[in-house]
A and B are shown apart, each in its own frame.
Chain A
């Protein structure tokens, strides 16, 4: 008895309890919904059997139906543009800003802190703001571009099928920029200064120092930032209803918004679950990359 007690307060028992509580929490709040979602994607679900479990089994019907939708490939293409465009934009500008703020100039860290404003704002607010900025006839961006003489006519960011997905991507780059910058700043701060000094003494120029010291030393940070970026971008939802509603004609529709439309506009919950199952595969890949890139940090 005493041995069990002491093991609970200080020993294997304690470890097991800590792990157990976390596992229970994860199982209840992540595992069950996930399994539920998988089950739903193989059933016929509508609003009236939503709160029961015994629904007609549909097999792969939902998957076949989703893939044979006329807009399926368009949605895949848009999702790819949105995800890779956002990640590339957020990462490149985020990295540039992070390096810029590593320079010591007055108020550097204060101004860097201010950049976090975009990350703090709720997505719907950001969406509404960008909705006004990107508006066609009376938009701020168009007024600026016209003022600078870059464009003549009106760019219909929200209504032109060639621009709409880019409009949301631009807003999302702005939204995620600060987060990328912060993580990368932390990575940069972790590189010992004397490495740069030594390299400088050896005659390495700025570009060489960046490619031979900064990038290799940042490898795990970059891996984590990119993987997190993929996950955050795939779950970015708020901007779509606020800016383009996936339109016009699905030209800015992405998988996550499409899944929502199936479930909550067309009330076909099974197909919504099916689309999100397909997304899950991509997120899993990203998670594996993330776990691998941060693994040695955890052990170290």
Chain B
């Protein structure tokens, strides 16, 4: 009798468990989000995912941090094996690889009915990078660009009053400011053999009248010779060839370089780390009043077309977009849309830097979009590295890149 009773109880308990599991599964939908935010420092996607997850709305968000170098790769592999996340955040030139092949969900109609997402308010560059064939496949998460950070204390000490406006001035000042005996370089930048190299070099091509389809411009050749000369003379560290922008700018923050080419993602760390007065100026041009250009950086958010819960995923996306006004004050990122007011932070250097980067954004030009952007980009950074290491002359390197790019485009 005792046994029977126990058995009954156990059976009931088991039954309740079995009943409870599917009920929970029906209510709770889990949306997975992949992004690189949180890898170096706290960012919007990790923060917003956590907030949305904690809301009691029947949608859980599972967030995964990936490294910059591996996010495209991981997403590809996951997509090929049918384990893709619901939402993924990709660097804007990588987006077309997926959207052009229908790997991202077409959200044109959903956005048309949404109160939160309005494609019309987005800047042209970021909007182009999430569009393919006139359809919308995602939204810009944040945007960025590059300019020149300069150490005002070093400038003052050397009697230089204004930051460089042309590349000739950039070189002149860097040569004055370099102090090899104290381990101080005149400037630093990133000519690394990956997307970061292209990110910093393509604007130079663009401002000299070229583009990713026309790389062998006179200005680009001149610039490569100039930078090579500075490396040879120890004005720039040879390590610009292997350092990423984050590490390269680290040497500026520690006072080992007088200028650094980098973007607004550096501002928060610089406010913390740099114990000197610094400022930002626009990326130099070739001649005074010449055409400006800069890189258009930043990440996009898209829903993968393989998602089982497109509506819930769209809700998560809407939540992310609704928090755009927090991007700058909390994370130092610039929104991709024109209708977000950027409040002053009260930190003088940060606000001044922001104003410069906002102006710079007007000149920012996107990379691509092209489904084979990675190959185009490799041709460009390979050429830069070949010229800067002296393996080829700038002309040889750029014509070789042009030949490679031509076979990809045609």
Contacts and interface: CB of A to CB of B under 8 A. Distances in A.
A247 B385 contact: yes
A77 B29 CA distance: 54
A267 B374 CA distance: 8
A159 interface: yes
A95 to B, nearest CB: 34
B76 A267 contact: yes
Contacts of B242: 136, 158-159, 244-245, 247-248
Contact of B386 (A244, A249, A267): A249
A50 B237 contact: no
B239 A159 contact: yes
A70 interface: yes
A267 B373 CA distance: 11
A160 B241 CA distance: 9
Interface residues of A, number: 30
Interface in B211-256: 234, 237-242, 251, 256
Contacts of A158: 239, 242
B239 A136 contact: yes
Contact of B389 (A70, A245, A249): A249
Contact of B388 (A48, A50, A248, A250): A248
Secondary structure of the A side of the interface? loop
* Dominant secondary structure of chain B at its interface with chain A: helix
A137 B388 contact: no
B101 A137 contact: no
Interface string A243-276: 0111111110000000000001111100000000
A248 B72 CA distance: 23
B100 to A, nearest CB: 10
From A50, A70, A71, A241, residue with most partner B Cβ within 10 Å: A70
Nearest to B371: A46
B256 A137 contact: yes
A161 interface: yes
Given A249-B385, A249-B391, A267-B374, A48 B237 contact: no
B246 to A, nearest CB: 15
Contact of B97 (A135, A154, A267): A267
B48 interface: no
B7 interface: no
6 contacts: A50-B80, A136-B239, A137-B239, A246-B193, A247-B241, A267-B76
Interface of A: 47-48, 50-51, 70-71, 135-137, 153-154, 156, 158-161, 241, 244-251, 264-268
Given A158-B242, A250-B385, 4 more contacts: A159-B237, A159-B238, A249-B193, A249-B389
